[in-house]
Structure 1
């Protein structure tokens, strides 16, 4: 399902989820997610003050997405693609069992980061 120019604050409500959707020109603010898969497509979106704990980003596609002040704890990014994305003041932290975020088979094209923790150049 396509969601265009939508604003999501605090939570996602059905039928919206992080899975099997396309988000274009949308904004996500203050959403905290524990577990679950994220396998949607995000184009020209803003994601701010959102937190993921044990998130599974599988084959995710992000194009021209601005991540601001997001926190990822023990999150796995597997086969994801990031194109022209920016990461500002984001944190990629260990979970409560000491596991770091993982980036298996992730592809980065033209992305930038500023003042991020746990995200290597």
Structure 2
């Protein structure tokens, strides 16, 4: 069964990504924590991510609509078969992990997304 999580504030990775493979997160906020290796395949609508450091995260068939990412770090993250629609990225970093593997984007679409002062965005989203 798909869980609906609404208007919840998350400040640690265990609670934040408990239903991240199949839930629906609506108007939630994720603030100031690090997470190693979460698998994210859920739907996120109008969510805010602030100062979240994601290491080896797998966005697999995730759908994110009207979400904002500010001062987030994606270390060796994989974006596979996901859809990002009207999302905003501000001062985010898409960088290599500690083994030198960069972020990858395979079959992921970035519809209407805007990135401001982001490192690694252009190489991640090139067609």
Q: Report TM bin, short chain.
A: over 0.9
| Residue in structure 1 matched with residue 23 of structure 2 by the alignment | 21
CA contact (8 A) 2:17 2:40 kept: no
Would you say 1:4 and 2:37 are equivalent positions?
Answer: no
1:35-50 equivalences under 5 Å are 35-50=37-52
Per-residue deviation, 1:10: 3.0
| Residue in structure 2 matched with residue 51 of structure 1 by the alignment | 53
> CA offsets per residue over residues 76-98 of structure 1, 9 Å max, x none?
00011000000000000001111
The structure with the greater share of residues assigned to helix is 2
CA contact (8 A) 2:23 2:42 kept: yes
Distance of 1:37 and 1:118 partners within structure 2: 21
RMSD: 1.6
Task: Describe the SS at the equivalent of 2:15.
Answer: coil
Distance of 2:37 and 2:98 partners within structure 1: 13
| Residue in structure 2 matched with residue 99 of structure 1 by the alignment | 101
| Residue in structure 1 matched with residue 65 of structure 2 by the alignment | 63
CA contact (8 A) 1:59 1:81 kept: yes
| Residue in structure 1 matched with residue 111 of structure 2 by the alignment | 109
> CA offsets per residue over residues 27-82 of structure 1, 9 Å max, x none?
11012110131111100010110011111110110000000000000010001100
Per-residue deviation, 1:14: 8.3
> What count of residue pairs does the alignment treat as equivalent?
121
Structure 2: unaligned runs, 5 residues or longer: none
Change (3 A) 1:91 1:6: same
Q: TM-score, normalised by structure 2?
A: 0.89
